[in-house]
């Protein structure tokens, strides 16, 4: 058996501790599969004396992750610190410049600096692996980099954030408010004290930016992703979706179009009968549409120490076996410039919820605004929330704004947004209208 692959691990949080445990528990198995032992010779974290539930005896301690990254004793550096800049970026750059292989789970770092880091790795002839950066334990990076390398990918989409999926699933299954579901997610550790990064859609956007590059051979460009979070989703939207045969999910969608790449993150209504609608809790799902293999759907744990550690370990195994490939599939010198498709040109059906004042001519004015933008209405229903139905709670007060739900035929994003803005400016509604896309899914997502 060959000499060990020596590793330095920076960051010993949930994932880092899980990785150390995995490497210790499956030591013999990993050595057999890699053809050589995997040996952790250096570690670094904020606190040396913190109890982590894993044995660190005999492993050199480094106060400075950058020093660990450059140390002559390691061949591969594992970055599990997090953050798009600062010490995480400094340490990864230092390791690559020193000719060390790098494994990272840092989607924020890759979304911001992925191209320059990939270029540096190519110049040094070392690996930059990041399976754990997107969808935790789901092997979506390997699927795009290896399994589908011979295919032309047309679209990548899915549920990429467990926190949002947990909140929306709880609202749907337990008929609870957004605030209640978020509070429970925080108590269970799915959401941070400040959940903005997750519920605002930014975590999903970072991951989608990476998938977009791998799928379409473009430069990573997080700034080109259109982002909308789930903060505005209400119980009324969840109820309406259920009654109409849909469920609401936060989706990341990247598609190749005639006008360029369309990359967007937003809540979407998906058919109840689709596999992606059945993905509940903190689980993730990624669908890939390609020309020769048609549609693939990958479902599994999107976060968590053990699942993410498993993904990190798979990257380490590749390095131990001597597998080094361009980090972004396409070599950086051949990456295409990101050409953004105009989101306003996106076509689809839409759900629109309006809180309409009970005034003569209000509905006629709303219909006119839709007609002015050539938005055709498939259906329109006045709804009462379940809390206001007989036998459940109080009825709506006389004169209170009526809850009106409309489903449009296919139209453009630009047209529906302009129509809704005009309705709001007319003063016919008591609150900002809610607009949710009704997403068409691939054939492979049918249950």
- Topology adopted by domain 344-445: Alpha-Beta Plaits (3.30.70)
**Could you confirm whether domain 5-133 is CATH 3.30.565.10?**
no
The neighbour count for residue 151, using CB atoms within 10 Å, is 17
Cβ atoms of residues 111 and 209 within 8 Å: yes
The arithmetic mean of pLDDT across residues 5-10, rounded, is 98
What distance in Å separates the CA atoms of residue 153 and residue 148, rounded to the nearest whole number? 8
Cβ atoms of residues 212 and 226 within 8 Å: no
Q: pLDDT digit string (tens) for 124-163?
A: 999 999 999 999 899 999 999 999 999 999 999 999 999 9
pLDDT of residue 428: 87
Strands (E), 291-376: 294-301, 347-356
Q: Specify the DSSP element, H or E, that contains 419.
A: helix 413-425
The arithmetic mean of pLDDT across residues 369-391, rounded, is 78
The arithmetic mean of pLDDT across residues 272-294, rounded, is 94
pLDDT of residue 394: 44
Q: Which of 107, 112, 207, 428 is catalytic?
A: 207
Q: Given pLDDT bands bounded at 50, 70 and 90, which one contains residue 259?
A: confident
> Poorest-confidence range of 130-134, 213-217, 361-365?
361-365
pLDDT of residue 401: 86
Q: pLDDT digit string (tens) for 63-81?
A: 999 999 999 999 999 999 9
- Any bridge partners for residue 412, and if so which? 347
- Any bridge partners for residue 268, and if so which? 249, 437
Average pLDDT, the chain: 92
Q: pLDDT digit string (tens) for 157-209?
A: 999 999 999 999 999 999 999 999 999 999 988 888 999 999 999 999 999 99
Q: Given pLDDT bands bounded at 50, 70 and 90, which one contains residue 397?
A: low
Query: Is 249 a known active-site residue?
Result: no
Q: Quick check: 393 pLDDT over 80?
A: no
Q: Quick check: 382 pLDDT over 90?
A: no
What distance in Å separates the CA atoms of residue 437 and residue 267, rounded to the nearest whole number? 7
- Per domain, the residue ranges of the chain are 5-133, 140-303+329-343, 344-445
The arithmetic mean of pLDDT across residues 358-383, rounded, is 91
The arithmetic mean of pLDDT across residues 361-389, rounded, is 84
Q: Given pLDDT bands bounded at 50, 70 and 90, which one contains residue 347?
A: confident
Q: pLDDT digit string (tens) for 36-68?
A: 999 999 999 998 988 888 989 999 999 999 999
pLDDT of residue 398: 54
Q: pLDDT digit string (tens) for 406-420?
A: 999 999 999 999 999
Q: Given pLDDT bands bounded at 50, 70 and 90, which one contains residue 388?
A: very low
pLDDT of residue 443: 52
What distance in Å separates the CA atoms of residue 22 and residue 54, rounded to the nearest whole number? 10
The arithmetic mean of pLDDT across residues 392-405, rounded, is 66
pLDDT of residue 152: 96
At the top level of CATH, which class does the domain 140-303+329-343 belong to? Answer: alpha beta
Cβ atoms of residues 7 and 74 within 8 Å: yes
């Amino acid at each position: 058996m060959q000499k060990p692959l020596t590793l330095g691990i920076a960051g010993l949080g949930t994932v880092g501790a899980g990785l150390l445990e995995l490497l210790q528990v499956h030591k013999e198995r990993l050595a057999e599969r890699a053809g050589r032992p995997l040996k952790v010779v250096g570690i670094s974290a904020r606190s040396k004396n913190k109890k982590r539930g894993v044995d660190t005896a005999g492993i050199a301690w480094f106060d400075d992750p950058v020093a660990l990254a450059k140390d002559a004793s390691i061949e591969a550096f594992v970055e599990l610190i997090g953050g798009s800049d600062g010490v995480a970026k400094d340490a990864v750059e230092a390791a690559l410049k020193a000719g060390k292989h790098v494994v990272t789970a840092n989607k924020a770092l890759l979304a911001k600096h992925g191209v320059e880091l990939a270029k540096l790795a190519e110049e040094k002839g070392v690996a930059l692996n990041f399976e754990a950066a997107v969808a935790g334990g789901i092997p979506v990076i390997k699927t795009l980099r290896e399994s589908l390398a011979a295919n032309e990918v047309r679209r990548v989409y899915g549920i990429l954030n467990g926190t949002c999926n947990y909140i929306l699933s709880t609202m749907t299954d337990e008929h609870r408010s957004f605030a209640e579901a978020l509070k429970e997610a925080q108590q269970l550790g799915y959401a941070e004290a400040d959940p903005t990064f997750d519920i605002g859609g930014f975590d999903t956007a970072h991951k989608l930016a990476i998938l977009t590059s791998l799928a379409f051979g473009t430069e990573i460009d997080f700034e080109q992703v259109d982002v909308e979070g789930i903060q505005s989703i209400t119980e009324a939207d969840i109820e309406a979706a259920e009654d109409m045969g849909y469920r609401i999910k936060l989706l990341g969608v990247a598609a190749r179009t005639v006008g360029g790449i369309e990359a967007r993150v937003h809540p979407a209504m998906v058919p109840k009968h689709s596999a992606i609608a059945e993905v509940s809790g903190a689980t993730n799902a990624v669908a890939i549409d390609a020309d020769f293999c048609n549609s693939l759907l990958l479902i599994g744990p999107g976060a968590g120490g053990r699942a993410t550690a498993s993904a990190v370990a798979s990257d380490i195994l590749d390095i131990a076996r001597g597998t080094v490939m361009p980090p972004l599939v396409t070599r950086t010198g051949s990456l295409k410039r990101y050409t953004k498709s105009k989101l306003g040109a996106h076509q689809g059906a839409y759900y629109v919820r309006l809180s309409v004042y009970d005034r003569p001519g209000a509905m006629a004015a709303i219909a006119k605004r839709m007609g002015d933008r050539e938005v055709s209405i498939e259906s329109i229903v006045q709804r009462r929330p379940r809390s206001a139905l007989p036998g459940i709670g109080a009825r709506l007060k006389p004169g209170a704004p009526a809850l009106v739900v409309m489903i449009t035929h296919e139209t453009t994003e630009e047209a529906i947004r302009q129509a809704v803005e005009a309705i709001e400016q007319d003063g016919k509604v008591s609150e900002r209208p809610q607009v949710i896309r009704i997403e068409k899914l691939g054939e492979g997502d049918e249950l």
